[in-house]
Amino acid sequence: MDKNAFLSELANILDEDGIDETANLRDFPSWDSLAVLSVVALADSKFGFTLELADIKGIATVADLWKHFEKNRTK
Amino acid sequence: MKYRFRDKAITGLAVVVPEHERLFADDMKLFNAPENRSRKLAMVMGYNAHRVVEKGVCASDLAEAGFRHLFDCGRIRPEEIDALIYVTLSPDHFMPPTSCILHGKLGLRRDCFCLDIAQGCCGFVVGLLQAFQLLEQDGVRKAVLVNADVLSRKVSPKDRNSYPLIGDAATIAIVENREGTGEIHADVRFDGTRAMALKVPAGGFRMPSSPETAVMKADSEGNERAPDNLVMDGTAVFNFVMADVPPMLADLVADAGVGFADIDKYYFHQPNRFMLQKLAEKLDVPYDKMPNNVVEHYGNSSGATIPSAMALNDADLLCSKVGKVCFSGFGVGLTYGGIVMNCGNFDFCETITYKGEN
């Protein structure tokens, strides 16, 4: 999954039409436990790594999240 | 640890669900979350209806009603029962064991072995292993495994993370020696370092219930619960299941000398539809081989979900044919395990509704 596909998947998870990379995750009205779990599941199924809640706590923006995904991906 | 048995079988199964049904559409009104997010949650997780007991009903009441029904129908006689294994996280009392209460009420023999096991999500697997071990004794011919829980009584209705998925049920499985059933492979593992990921903080000896432990507090999402209520770290549990269960099962299936494709049916614990679909994808098993609909029909009833999945989806099939099945439970403890065995030709497989009278 490339960056564009990741962003479109994230938009889908957050019920948004598009995603601004500089946006802070916590500013999205739909950033709730379901969104977090969906992102964790995405990391597991499409990127092959375990995303812990503690990791997410240290991530601010959409761009930071993508960086974390890129750094930890095994597939 | 791995376990191996021969020629043991489940010969009958009864599922008891309370009559009282809650609908997610009604649950939603109590949550402090936007309605569109609650609807999406329901769609993803498969929340719809769940069965919960009325005030004051205990897990053993459901189990007792199931036994009375089986006695009345002549499915089993009380004097035939050589062992009663009662798996629950919602015992009637700290003292005495609930299996002993049932032993008295049901009029079982004095030499019938009674055992309570405190297990949840993996309770069917752990209980079945215990039944198999007892059946190695010549004196034990019929072991009865009961999985019963009424954890709805411990979940805050204002907790969107737990309330819509919780269900109450009791299941009764008759387990016997049966020649020609073949080899049974099992594996159960534990990770106590993560024991507190699923818990009811108060109510035991460590933190006795008090007026303070009943005080509700809102978490960052507006879910309200008290220390007396069940709480789970959903993300940690999801990651545990995805990371630890598939390798354990791959190992188990290889040990049984088969591949995932050779298994006819996967009856897994039913936490929610989402987790089961992800698990099926990870094991490369088609969705239709791994039922995931117990949560939407009855709710997650802890150790009772595996038998519930069997009776809800395959009652006729399980009474007419034998197939190779894989059971797996994962959760509270953290405990995770699996069993690969031939299963079917049950004498009965039925679902009974508990209406409150015995």
Model ipTM value: 0.86
Q: What is the pLDDT of residue B93?
A: 98
Task: Sketch out chain B's domains with CATH numbers.
Answer: 1-358 (3.40.47.10)
Render pLDDT for B292-333 as a digit per residue (tens, 0 to 9): 999 999 999 999 999 999 999 999 999 999 999 999 999 999
Do B37 and A40 lie within an 8 Å CB cutoff? no
Neighbours of B247 (CB within 10 A): 9
Q: How far is A46 from chain B (nearest CA, A)?
A: 11
Q: How far is A26 from chain B (nearest CA, A)?
A: 12
Q: What is the pLDDT of residue B128?
A: 98
Residues of B in contact with A13 (CB under 8 A): none
**With 70 as the cut, is the pLDDT of residue B357 above it?**
no
Residues of B in contact with A44 (CB under 8 A): 239, 242-243, 278, 282
Q: What is the mean pLDDT of residues B139-154?
A: 97
Angle, CA of B62, B329 and B8, to the nearest 5°: 80
* DSSP-derived 3-state class of residue B346: coil
Nearest to A45 among B160, B235, B278 (CB): B278
Test the A interface: residue of B39, B40, B163, B235 with most A CBs within 10 Å: B235
Domain ranges across chain A = 3-72
Render pLDDT for A38-66 as a digit per residue (tens, 0 to 9): 999 999 999 999 999 889 999 999 999 99
The 3-class SS string of B238-291 reads HHHHHHHHHHHHHHHHHHCCCCHHHCCEEEECCCCHHHHHHHHHHHCCCHHHCC
Find the residue in A nearest to B220 (Cα). Answer: A32
- The whole-chain average pLDDT of chain A stands at 93
Q: What is the pLDDT of residue B36?
A: 86
Angle, CA of B253, B323 and B74, to the nearest 5°: 125
Residues of A in contact with B245 (CB under 8 A): none
What does DSSP say about strands B335-344 and B21-23: parallel, antiparallel, or unpaired? unpaired
Residues of B in contact with A36 (CB under 8 A): 235
Render pLDDT for B82-108 as a digit per residue (tens, 0 to 9): 999 999 999 999 999 999 999 999 999
B29 or B291, higher pLDDT: B291
Q: What is the mean pLDDT of residues B125-154?
A: 97
Q: Does domain A3-72 have CATH number 1.10.1200.10?
A: yes
**With 60 as the cut, is the pLDDT of residue B358 above it?**
no
Q: Is A5 near chain B, with CB under 8 Å? A: no
Test the B interface: residue of A12, A13, A33, A42 with most B CBs within 10 Å: A33
- Predicted confidence band of residue B356 (pLDDT cuts 50, 70, 90): confident
Q: Is A29 near chain B, with CB under 8 Å? A: yes
Residues of B in contact with A15 (CB under 8 A): 36, 40
Q: Which tokens go with B67? A: 């036994």
By percentage, how much of chain A surpasses pLDDT 70? 100
Q: What's the predicted TM-score (pTM) here? A: 0.94
Do A37 and B234 lie within an 8 Å CB cutoff? yes
Distance CA B170, CA B89 (A): 12
Q: What is the pLDDT of residue B304?
A: 98
- A/B interface, count of CB pairs below 8 Å: 47
Find the residue in B nearest to A37 (Cα). Answer: B235
Burial of A56-67, coded b for 16+ CB within 10 Å and e otherwise, reads beebebbeebbe
Residues of B engaging A, defined by a Cβ cutoff of 8 Å: 33-34, 36-37, 40-41, 44, 160-161, 221, 233-236, 238-239, 242-243, 274, 278, 281-282
Q: Is A12 near chain B, with CB under 8 Å? A: no
